[in-house]
C-alpha cells in the first residue's frame, strides 16, 4: 500500500510540475520570444548626413559623428553624447564603415585622405583613398571592415583627415555598424 501511495504521489508531482510549467509559459505567453531576444546579436548602428570638411594638409584626425538612425541592442557598446566615440567593453567586435567623400572645389590634382580607426589613443588600420576633379573621381564611396579585440573598456572612433595641400575633402552620407562577436 505504501509503495502504491508513493507511486501515486510521484505521479501527481510530475503532473503538477508539468502543469505549473505550462501555466507559467501560458501566462508569460512569450517563451519563444524570450529565447529570440537571447539569441539576438549585440550591435550598434547609426548614420549621419551632416557635412564634415576635412581641410588639408593636416596630420590631425577628425572624429566622425553618427547621430542619426541609431539602432542598438545588448550591452557593451555605448556612444558618447556627440556620437563620435563608442565605449566598447571587453570583447571582439566587427566594425564596418561606409562614407561618401567628395572633393570640395576643383583641384586639378588628386586630394588624398586617410580613414582610420582610433582605439583609445592609438590610430590603427589607416587606409588612404583619393578624389580628383579633373582626371579621376570627384566622388568616392569608401568602406572599411575590421575585426578588433578590446581587452579592457576602450573608446572607438572612426577618424579621417585630408593630407593634400590646398585641398578640402567633404564628407557627407556615412554609416557605422559595430557587431559584437564575443
Interface with other proteins by CB under 8 A: which residues?
3-4, 6-8, 10-11, 13-15, 17-18, 21, 31-33, 35-41, 43, 45-47, 69, 71, 73, 96-100, 102, 133, 135-141, 143, 145, 172-173, 175, 177, 179
CB of 99 within 8 A of CB of 142? yes
Nearer to other proteins, 27 or 38 (CB): 38
Count of C-beta atoms within a 10 Å radius of residue 160: 23
C-alpha grid cell for residue 77?
Answer: 557598446
Using alpha carbons, list the distances in angstroms from residue 117 to 27, 29, 120, 166, 167. Answer: 48, 44, 10, 25, 22
- Rounded to 5 degrees, what are φ and ψ at 67? -105, -10
- Shortest reach from residue 136's CB to other proteins, in Å: 6
- Shortest reach from residue 68's CB to other proteins, in Å: 10
Using alpha carbons, list the distances in angstroms from residue 71 to 42, 47, 61, 172, 176. Answer: 11, 10, 26, 20, 11
Nearer to other proteins, 21 or 58 (CB): 21
- Shortest reach from residue 60's CB to other proteins, in Å: 26
Nearer to other proteins, 4 or 152 (CB): 4
Using alpha carbons, list the distances in angstroms from residue 76 to 6, 40, 84, 181. Answer: 51, 14, 16, 11
- Shortest reach from residue 115's CB to other proteins, in Å: 13
CB of 57 within 8 A of CB of 38? no
CB of 100 within 8 A of CB of 138? no
- Shortest reach from residue 175's CB to other proteins, in Å: 5
Nearer to other proteins, 41 or 82 (CB): 41
Nearer to other proteins, 114 or 120 (CB): 114
Amino acid at each position: 500500500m505504501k509503495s502504491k501511495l508513493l507511486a501515486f504521489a510521484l505521479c501527481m508531482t510530475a503532473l503538477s510540475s508539468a502543469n505549473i510549467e505550462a501555466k507559467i509559459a501560458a501566462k508569460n505567453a512569450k517563451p519563444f520570444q524570450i529565447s529570440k531576444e537571447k539569441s539576438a546579436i549585440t550591435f550598434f548602428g547609426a548614420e549621419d548626413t551632416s557635412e564634415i570638411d576635412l581641410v588639408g594638409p593636416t596630420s590631425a584626425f577628425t572624429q566622425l559623428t553618427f547621430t542619426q538612425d541609431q539602432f542598438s541592442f545588448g550591452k557593451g557598446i555605448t556612444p558618447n553624447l556627440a556620437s563620435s566615440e563608442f565605449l566598447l567593453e571587453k570583447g571582439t567586435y566587427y566594425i564596418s564603415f561606409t562614407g561618401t567623400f567628395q572633393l570640395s572645389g576643383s583641384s586639378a590634382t588628386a586630394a588624398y585622405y586617410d580613414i582610420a580607426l582610433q582605439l583609445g589613443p592609438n590610430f590603427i588600420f589607416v587606409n588612404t583613398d583619393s578624389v580628383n576633379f579633373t582626371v579621376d573621381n570627384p566622388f568616392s564611396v569608401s568602406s572599411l571592415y575590421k575585426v578588433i579585440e578590446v581587452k579592457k573598456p576602450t573608446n572607438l572612433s572612426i577618424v579621417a583627415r585630408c593630407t593634400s595641400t590646398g585641398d578640402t575633402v567633404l564628407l557627407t552620407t556615412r554609416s557605422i555598424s559595430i557587431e559584437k562577436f564575443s
